[in-house]
Structure 1
Amino acid sequence: MAFDLLGKLGEDGIMSAVFSEERVVSNWLVVEAEFARALADAGVIDTARGERIAAACRLDVIDRERLWKETRNVGYPILPLVKQIVAALDDDDAAWVHYGATTQDIMDCALALQLRDAADRLTDLVGQFGDAIAQLVERHAGSVMPGRTHAQQAVPTTFGLKMAVYLDQLARDAKRLTAARARAAVVSSYGAGGTSAALRDNGPAVRSALATRLGLADAELPWHVARDRVAELTSAAAMTAGTCVRFAREVVDLSRTEVGEVSEATGKYRGASSTMPQKSNPISAEAIIGFGVVAQNAANAMLRALEAGHERAAGEWQVEWRAVPGCLIAAASALDVAREAAENLLVFPDRMRANLTRDGGRIMAEAYMIALAEHLGRDVAHESVYDAVLLSRADGLALPEALRRSVAPELWDRIAAVLPEPDAYLGNATRLCASALTAWRSRTHGA
C-alpha cells in the first residue's frame, strides 16, 4: 500500500477500522453465516445445518494470502472465500454454502453494515465538532468584529454569529447523514439477476430473515445497480466535509498576519517553518482542507457509479471499492481535526475591535446611510454617504469627518449625535446566536 502522508496528519482511526481488510473479510463471513441461518429460518435447510455452516464462517478458516491471489484471477472475492468455507465442512453441509446467493448480495450486505457504522461515526463526529462550535457561539456572542463580504469589510457582526452559521449548517449535515444512513443500511439478497429465482418462493422469506439477523432494513426490490443509496451517503459525507473546509478556510483567513483575529493552538514548534523562525502555520486548517477535498473528489467518483447498466455493473461497481472508503475516511478525518481545531481555537476580540477602524470607519457606511435616510430618503442618503466615502479615501479622512464635510451643516447638526457605533449596529446578532444554540442542543441532545 502506498504511504499516506495526509493520513499521518490526522486520519480518523475509528473510521479507518470500519474499512480495514480484517473488517471487510469479517463482514463477508458474517453475512455468509447469517445467510445460512436465514436459509434455515425460511425452511430451506434445517437449523443444525445452518449452524454448522455458520460455524465454519470464521477468520481463522480463511487463508487471506490465497484469498487475494485467487480474487485477482476471479475478479471478485466471494467465490474464493466460499471455496475456503466449503473446504472446512463435510460434503453434505458444503453443498448448501452460499445457496441461492450471489457475490454482490454478500458484498452489498457487508457494505451496508459498513455504511451503517460509518454514518454513525460521522454523525458522532458532527456532534463533537458542533459542540465545540457551540462553545464559541456562546463565548463570543458579543465579540464585535468586522463582517466581510467579497473579502472586504462590510458591516459589524459578532464572532459568535459567524460561528452560529456553522452550527446551523452542521445541524443540517447531521440530518442529511441520518437520512442517508436509513436508506443505505438495507439488506441485499436477490440472486444472480435480481429475481431470487434460485430460491424459488423462499426468496422473500430468506431476505427478510437475513435483514433481521444483520440488523438491516428489508428492501423488496434489488439494488445491485441502483447505487443511489451509497452515493447519497458519500454525498452527505462530502457536504459535511465541505462545512469543515469552509471553517478551515475561515481560520486561515482570520489568522493572517494582517488580520490576526484568531489563531490555531500554539506550542513548541507547532506549525513551525524549517527556515523562517517566526512562522506558526495553520496546520490543522490545512489538513482539514486536504481531507475535505479528498472526500469531495471521492464522492464525485461515486456519482459515476450511478451509471451502472442492466442488472449488474461492468466496472462502475469497482469505482465504489476505492471511492466509498476514500470519501468516508477523509470526511471523518476532516471532522475530527476540525473538532480539535475548534476546541483549541484562540480568539482575539481586541484585535477584532481594532480591525473595525482599519478602514477609517468606513465599515459604518450603511449605518450612516440608514441614519441619513430618515431625513433624505434612502437613495439620496446612499449617494451622500457614497460621496463621503470617496472623499474619505481620497483625503485619508475618517468617514464621520468626511461625512461632516459632505452634507449641509444643519443636517450634520441633526445627525451627528445619532450616528451609531459598531456595538449599536449589530441587529439581531445576539438573538440569532441564542436561537442557534437552542436549536443545536435540541437537535443533538433532545434538550
Structure 2
Amino acid sequence: MSVHFLDNSVFQDSVSTPRMRAVFDEMAVFQSWLDVERAIALVSGELGIIPQSAAERIAAHATIDGIDLEAVKAHGKVTSHSLLGLLKEFRRVIAHDDARYVHWGATTQDIVDTGMMLVLRNAYAIIEEQLAETLRHARPLLATYRDTVMVGRTHGGHALPITFGMKAAIWLDELGRQLERWRAARERILVVGIVGAVGTMASWGDQGFALQHRAAEILGLGTPIAPWASARDRIAEVATLCALTSGTASRIAKEIYNLSKTEVREIEEPFTKGKVGSSTMPHKRNPVHTEWSIVLDRLIRADAGVALEAMGVENERDASHWKAEWVIMPELFPMLSGSLAHLDATLSGLWVHPERMAANTHMLKGLLLSERAMFVLAESMPLPEAHETVYQASVRAFDNDTALVDELMAEDGVADKCDRARIEEALDPASYTGVAGEIADRVGARIDALVK
C-alpha cells in the first residue's frame, strides 16, 4: 500500500528523483544503523573493550540482507521501541555467543543519529552534484544572451532595460551561493552522534573519545567536540539549507513561469513532442517543470519549519522533538532533489525569444527610458525640474497611449532646450543597459571557477 506521494508509482518522479529515494529507502536506513553497530564493534575490539574475535564476527554479519523485517516490526509492536527489534534480529543472524557484544555501550540515539548522518552524507553529495550540474548546464545562457536587451521590471511593471544575460546571471549567482553554502556546512553538519546514554561516554570508560574518533574515521564522518543528542541545530541547519536552495529554485521557476505567459512569452520551459497540457484544450502548453518547483518549495519550507521546532529538546534527550526529524528528512531531500531536477530540465533546455523581448521594450513607446530622458533634460535644467517635466509627459503618454518623445516636445520650453533627435536617441533601449553585459561576464567567470 502506498500513501505518501513520494511512494506513488505514477507520480513519484514528479516530486523526487529515483537516486534520492534510494538513499532514503527503508533498507538503506536500516543498513546505516547496522553500519554504525559494525563500526562501534570494530573499534571496541581494537581498544580491547570487547574481544577482537567478537568484533570481527559482528562486523561480518552487519548486513540487512539476513534481517527479517517482519520480525523487527512484530517486536516493535510489543516493546514500542525503535531499535530493539533490529538488534534482536541482528543477534539472531550472528547466531553465536559473541552476539552479546552487539551494541556494547551504545544507546539507541547513537545508532539512529549516526545512521541518519550516513544517509545525509549520501543525500548531501547528490544535492551538491545536482547544483553543480544545473550551473554547468545553464552557464551558456550568460554568454549567448549577454547583450540581448529585454524589459527590466520592478513592482510588476516596466522599469528600465536590462539584458537577459544579466537576469540569468543573477539566477546563477544565487544558485552558486547555495552550492557554496552546502560545501561550507558539510564538515560542520556531517558528524557522528556516538556519545552514550547521556553524552558522557561512561560506558566505554576512559576510551570514549578514542572510540568515537576511530568510529568516525571508519564511517567517513566528522567528530563533534561535544554531544549533540539534545542540540539539534545540525539537523535544523541542513533542513534550512534545503529550504534556502528550494527557495532559489522556486524564485527562478516563478520568474520563468511569469515570463512565459502568453501575453509576454519572452522565455519558456522546453516543450517536447508528445507533451500534453490539457485533457480538453489541445493547444495548451503548461509550464509543468516550473510549477512543480514552486509547489515543492512550499512543502520543503514547511518541513524546514518542523526542523526548527524540533530544536527545543529538553535535558539530555527528548524524543518528543527528535522523532519529528524521522518524518521530515526523508521528505526534504527527495523533494529538493525533485525540484532541482525540474529546474535543470527548465534551464538546460530553456526557450528564449529575443524578438519578443525586443518588442516588449517598445511597448510603452519610450516610457521604458524615462530615466534617461530625465537625465538628458537635466543637462539644461535642474534635475528636480527635469523629473517633473518627464513625469507630466509620462502621465499624458500613459493616458493617451502616445509616444513619450511627442509629449516631451509638447512641454513648454523643452523644444527650446533639447533637440528631438537627441531625445529619440536617448530612448533607444539597447543604448541604456549599463554594465549588464559585464555582470554576465563576472558571474560566468565565478561559475566556471565554482564548478570546474
TM-score (norm 2): 0.95
Q: Mind listing any 5+ residue stretches in structure 2 that lack a counterpart?
A: none
**Match runs of 1:376-395 below 5 Å:** 376-395=381-400
- 1:135 corresponds to which of 131, 137, 140: 140
- Per-residue deviation, 1:423: 0.5
Whole-angstrom distance in 2 between the partners of 1:192 and 1:42? 20
| 1:385-424 to 2 correspondences below 5 Å | 385-408=390-413, 409-413=415-419, 415-416=422-423, 418-424=425-431
Hey, what does 1:310 align to over in structure 2?
315
The aligned runs of 1:173-252 (5 Å cut-off) are 173-252=178-257
Query: Are 2:149 and 1:144 equivalent residues in the alignment?
Result: yes
Q: Deviations over 1:311-367 (max 9, x none)?
A: 111311111011112111111110111001111110000000001111222111111
Aligned to 2:280: 275
In the TM superposition, 1:262-301 aligns within 5 A as: 262-301=267-306
CA distance in 2, matches of 1:58, 1:347: 51
Query: Which residue identity is paired with 1:127?
Result: A
Give the Å deviation of 1:71.
2.7
Mapped contact 1:137–1:163 kept (Cα < 8 A): yes
Alignment partner of 1:83 is 2:88 = yes
- Displacement, 1:92? 3.5
Q: CA deviation at 1:76?
A: 3.8
User: Considering only aligned residues, what root-mean-square deviation do their CA atoms show, in Å?
Assistant: 1.6
CA contact (8 A) 1:145 1:353 kept: yes
2:435 corresponds in structure 1 to 428
Counterparts of 2:187 and 2:79, CA distance in 1: 33
The alpha-carbon deviation at position 417 of structure 1 amounts to 6.1
Offset at residue 380 of structure 1 (A): 1.4
> In structure 1, the residue corresponding to 2:218 is in which secondary structure?
helix
Q: Following TM superposition, by how much is the alpha carbon of 1:139 offset from its aligned partner in structure 2, in angstroms?
A: 1.1
When residues 404 and 271 of structure 1 are mapped into structure 2, their CA distance, relative to the original with a 3 A threshold, is farther
Query: Which residue number in structure 1 is paired with residue 125 of structure 2?
Result: 120
C-alpha distance in 2, partners of 1:285/1:74? 46
2:351 corresponds to which of 346, 349, 356: 346
> Aligned equivalents of 1:51 and 1:220: distance in 2?
29
Q: Assess, with a 3 A threshold, how the Cα gap between structure 1 residues 89 and 284 changes in structure 2: closer, same or farther.
A: closer
Helix, strand or coil: the match of 2:159? Answer: strand
* 2:116 partner letter: L
Residue type at the aligned position of 2:173: D
Among 355, 368, 372, the alignment partner of 2:360 is 355
Are 1:157 and 1:429, in contact at CA under 8 Å, matched by a contact in 2?
yes
The answer for unaligned runs of 5 or more in structure 1 is none
Greater CA deviation, 54-63 or 169-178?
54-63
| Counterpart-to-counterpart distance in 2, 1:326 and 1:287 | 15
Contact 2:246 2:339 (C-alpha < 8 Å) held by counterparts: yes
Aligned-pair distance for 1:85?
A: 1.7
Larger displacement relative to structure 2 (172-181 or 433-442): 172-181
Secondary structure of 1:190's partner?
A: coil
8 Å contact from structure 1 (residues 101, 190) kept in 2: yes
* SS of equivalent to 2:150: strand
Instruction: Measure, in 1, the Cα distance between the counterparts of 2:322 and 2:80.
Output: 12
Q: Secondary structure at the match of 2:160?
A: strand
**CA offsets per residue over residues 17-67 of structure 1, 9 Å max, x none?**
111111001111111111100101222123222101111222233101121
Contact kept, 8 Å, 1:129 with 1:338, in 2: the verdict is yes
Aligned pairs for 1:31-110 within 5 A? 31-89=36-94, 92-110=97-115
For residues 366-423 of structure 1, the C-alpha deviation after alignment (integer angstroms, 9 at most, x for no partner) is 1111222222232111111101101112222111111111242211327436524101
Contact 1:102–1:191, Cα closer than 8 Å, also in 2: yes
Q: Say whether the 8 Å CA contact 1:156–1:363 is kept in structure 2.
A: yes
Determine the structure 1 residue equivalent to 2:379: 374
Residue of structure 1 in register with 2:3 after alignment: 2
Letter in 1 for 2:431: A
Q: Higher mean Cα deviation, 51-60 or 24-33?
A: 51-60
Q: Report the Cα distance in structure 1 between the residues aligned to 2:133 and 2:92, rounded to whole angstroms.
A: 47
Equivalent residues, number: 445
Measured in 1, the distance between the counterparts of 2:168 and 2:73 equals: 48
Aligned-residue identity in percent: 34
| Conservation of the 8 A alpha-carbon contact between 1:305 and 1:317 | yes
In structure 2, distance between residues paired with 1:396 and 1:46: 90
- Asked whether the 8 Å contact 2:15–2:296 carries over to 1, the reply is no
- Contact 1:56–1:88 at 8 Å: present in 2 too? yes
TM-score, normalised with respect to structure 1 = 0.96
